[in-house]
Amino acid sequence: MHTHISPHPTRNNPLVILVLFLTLLVVLLDRMVGNFLGPFLVEGLHLQPSQIGLIAGATGICWALSALVFGAVSDRIGRRKVLIPAIFLFSAASWLSGLAQNFEQLLMTRAFLGLAEGPCFAVIMALVEEYSSSNHRARHVGIVNSAGPFAAGVAPIFATQIAVAMGWRWGFYAAAIPGLVMGVMVWLYVKEPIRTSASTTIKREGLSSLLRNGSLWLCLLGAFGFVTSLMAFVVFAPLFLTQVMQQEARTAGLLMGAAGFGGAAWSFFGTGIADRIGRKPALLFFAVLNVASILLFMVPGMYASPYLLAILAFALSAGPAAAALIFVLIPAEVVPRHHVAAAIGFAGIGAELLGGSFGPAMGGALAQQHGLSAPMLLAAAGGCVVIVVAILIRETLVRPSASDKLRTSGAASK
């Protein structure tokens, strides 16, 4: 039996959905700012590329472990009691990052930020589902989830412009302010869902069946490949652009921002292609475009026209649409309905723990030994893993017949 969420005055309230979207945007902005300040940290704190990778890896590991623990805690004590303190804590961690005087201090503050931000995604998405009626849930989840690629577009511009104008420390200080604002907004406008049943236990044998699901393991592999690619790219592409391709910091920010906004557009508008052509061909299409967008940055001749390069980066950055399929849609469709949340968690949290730490750490080691082109190739290789998964995985889209739709509609009304 699942927990029943009673009707609530704020259900389907556009203001609540907007607040949750902006909150997730700020969560991811605070995390990504540290990556895009990499070129300034190399100069300001005399860091090596491997140390930049270790900092990002520590953030990812702490994020994953905290999500496991405090996501479960929120199921027991309530969403607000976890989310609101977490927002203020990660804002404090961002501010403290600006005070760091050396590698060790920055490592500690970014690890603390990962611990504070870890539960935010799970709790925010749980609130979106609980405050959405069945005929609005997918739309609202899609809107709020698109905060990820939007943050990838905002973060490089936000970080580099402030760092150039005021210094890298102010990049961290400025990132802390929106978190304080959103903490207050969540406290004012997002109320605790009303629960009438607390039985949410999943049978042990049911969970073990997930481990025997080959398609779910492919989803985990694909999610690992995607996150490895994403983290290697966002951590080391700014360094690659400024040090290897000899671009100015503002130009690097423009190009990374274009890729981020392109991903947001693909996530928001493009994922629906999978409803028409199927999950498998859509995943393959998105994955190929994603690898092409990474390799595009490695072609020296493209930098003769940075604005054209930015347009192409925008058009090709379909990675977030692939992520929506491999993290959510396909895992949900390869398991029974009563195991959907566990399946999504299996793919998503496993990828965060593995890919979120492996990508930047391995990228840093490769950069140290072989130069900054190596982590870019690692990012492309991670994207190729998603291509392989798209080829191997079975199609999960089942188009219901008219009688199936009638039965589903009748069951939903009971």
pLDDT at residue 5 above 60? no
Q: What is the pLDDT of residue 263?
A: 87
pLDDT value at position 30?
Answer: 86
Taking CB atoms within 8 Å and a gap of at least 24, the contacts of 394-400 are 394/215, 394/280, 394/334, 395/278, 395/279, 395/280, 396/215, 396/279, 396/280, 396/329, 396/330, 396/333, 396/334, 397/274, 397/275, 397/278, 397/279, 397/333, 398/333
| Average confidence (pLDDT) over 232-248 | 86
Mean pLDDT in the chain?
80
> Quick check: 369 pLDDT over 60?
yes
Lowest mean pLDDT among 16-25, 94-103, 114-123: 114-123
Nearest of 16, 18, 52 to residue 375 by alpha carbon: 52
Q: Which CATH class is domain 205-398?
A: mainly alpha
* Terminal Cα-to-Cα distance of the chain (whole angstroms): 15
Instruction: Quote the pLDDT of residue 142.
Output: 62
Is pLDDT of 1 > 60?
no
- 378: which 2 tokens? 């690692």
Q: Choose the most confident range, by mean pLDDT, from 77-81, 270-274, 409-413.
A: 77-81
* Three-state secondary structure call for residue 320: helix
94: Cα within 13 Å, side-chain hemisphere? 30
Spatial distance between the Cα atoms of 258 and 145, rounded to a whole number of angstroms: 19
- Looking at residue 11, what is its pLDDT? 57
**Which residues make Cβ contacts (< 8 Å) with residue 323, sequence separation at least 6?**
148, 223, 226, 230, 267
In the predicted structure, residue 407 carries a pLDDT above the cut 50: no
CB distance 1 to 197 below 8 Å = yes
Just give the CATH number of 12-192: 1.20.1250.20
pLDDT of residue 205: 44
Average pLDDT over residues 38-58: 81
Give the pLDDT of residue 215: 87
pLDDT, residue 403, reads: 44
Decide if 239 contacts 49 (C-beta within 8 A): yes
Instruction: Check residues 343 and 91 and name the one with the higher pLDDT.
Output: 91
Which is more confident, 30 or 346? 30
Instruction: Read off the pLDDT of residues 151-175 as tens digits, 9 standing for 90 and up.
Output: 877 888 888 888 888 888 898 898 8
For residue 56, how many other CB atoms are within 10 A of its CB?
Answer: 28
Report pLDDT digits (tens) over 308-349. 999 999 999 999 889 878 877 787 677 775 555 566 667 766
Please name which of 335, 330, 323 lies closest in space to residue 394, comparing C-alpha atoms: 330
Q: What's the confidence (pLDDT) of residue 130?
A: 72
- List Cβ neighbours of 106 (8 Å cut-off, separation of 6 or more): 41, 45, 47, 55, 97, 100
392 vs 325, more confident: 392
Six token digits for residue 347: 């793919």
Question: Would you say 213 and 64 are in contact if contact means Cβ atoms under 8 Å apart?
Answer: no
Whole-angstrom Cα distance, residue 364 to residue 38? 12
Region for residue 401 given its phi and psi (left: phi exceeds 0; alpha: psi -120 to 50; beta: otherwise)? beta
DSSP string for residues in 249-292: HHHHHHHHHHHHHHHHHIIIIIGGGHHHH-HHHHHHHHHHHHHH
Residue span(s) of the chain under CATH 1.20.1250.20 come to: 12-192, 205-398
More confident residue, 15 or 49: 15
- Encoded tokens for 280: 């498998």
